[in-house]
């Protein structure tokens, strides 16, 4: 059995701290969209490539998987992925210069997973960073290590584009995703808290 491993990667230009665009904080991923990568999972060759307009419906059909965990009571599943779906459409229409989306496909061209990453400053240090907007493994491809490969793909591309870190958001209840991120060195720094108000809040009544 062949384990999960990277096979090869095409060389592409990368931005460094001396790049004038980088110094101006002008993020632009245009020109990097020909990045192609390969991986091998269980003797199946996986190809990474930028998402294409003809992929739209197939990729969008995967987005509900972002809500495939025990949701907090007040949450609506569609709200977890509709914003990301709109962002993907922006990428496909080439209206964003800071966000890229890659898909993992098998030799038949079937999409097995997708990542979407935005280049932006780190929240506190303001150093060059990137944010993992979306990572999805198609149900038919789960259990073979593709989630790990997609995460590494996102990290690799963000690093090549000049980011010094990669951030992400994950729900506390999403144990499967949190386990993956912890395994790969992600630190849980912030907890977002929310209080839902009653129809007629009563403060100071206790």
The answer for residues whose C-beta is within 8 angstroms of residue 109's C-beta and 6 or more apart is none
pLDDT, one tens digit per residue, over 70-83 is 898 889 888 988 99
Q: Quick one: pLDDT at residue 144?
A: 86
Query: In 131-159, which positions are buried (b, 16+ CB within 10 angstroms) versus exposed (e)?
Result: bbbbbbbbeebeebbbbbbbbbbbbbbbe
- Residue pointed to by tokens 């584009």: 161
Cβ count near 113 (within 10 Å):
24
CA–CA separation, 204 and 9 (whole Å): 61
Tokens of 119: 């280049």
CA–CA separation, 171 and 193 (whole Å): 11
Q: What is the DSSP letter of 55?
A: G
Domain 5-183 in this protein, CATH class:
alpha beta
Please give the model's pTM, rounded to 2 decimal places.
Answer: 0.76
Q: What is the average pLDDT across 10-27? A: 35
pLDDT, one tens digit per residue, over 133-181 is 999 999 999 888 899 999 999 999 999 999 999 999 999 999 999 999 9
Q: Please check whether residue 53 is in contact with residue 161, taking contact to mean a CB–CB distance below 8 angstroms.
A: no
DSSP-based three-state secondary structure for 44: strand
The least confident of 65-74, 78-87, 191-200 is 191-200
Provide the mean pLDDT of the chain.
Answer: 81
Tokens of 181: 């991120």
Model confidence at 204, pLDDT cuts 50, 70, 90, reads: low
């Amino acid at each position: 059995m062949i384990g999960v491993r990277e096979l090869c990667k095409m060389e592409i230009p990368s931005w460094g701290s001396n790049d004038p665009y980088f110094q101006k904080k002008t993020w632009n991923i245009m020109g990097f969209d020909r990045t192609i990568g390969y991986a091998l999972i269980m003797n199946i060759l996986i190809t990474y490539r930028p998402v294409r307009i003809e992929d739209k419906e197939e990729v969008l059909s995967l987005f509900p998987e972002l809500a495939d965990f025990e949701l907090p009571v007040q949450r609506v599943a569609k709200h977890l992925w509709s914003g990301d779906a709109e962002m993907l459409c922006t990428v496909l229409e080439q209206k964003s210069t800071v966000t890229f989306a890659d898909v993992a496909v098998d030799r038949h061209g079937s999409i097995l997973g997708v990542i979407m990453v935005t280049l932006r400053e780190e929240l506190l240090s303001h150093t060059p960073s990137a944010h993992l907007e979306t990572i999805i493994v198609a149900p038919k491809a789960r259990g073979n290590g593709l989630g790990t490969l997609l995460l590494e793909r996102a990290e690799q591309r963000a690093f090549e584009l000049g980011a010094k870190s990669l951030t992400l958001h994950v729900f506390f209840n999403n144990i499967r995703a949190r386990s993956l991120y912890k395994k790969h060195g992600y630190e849980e720094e912030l907890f977002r808290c929310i209080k839902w108000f009653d129809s007629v809040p009563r403060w100071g009544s206790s």
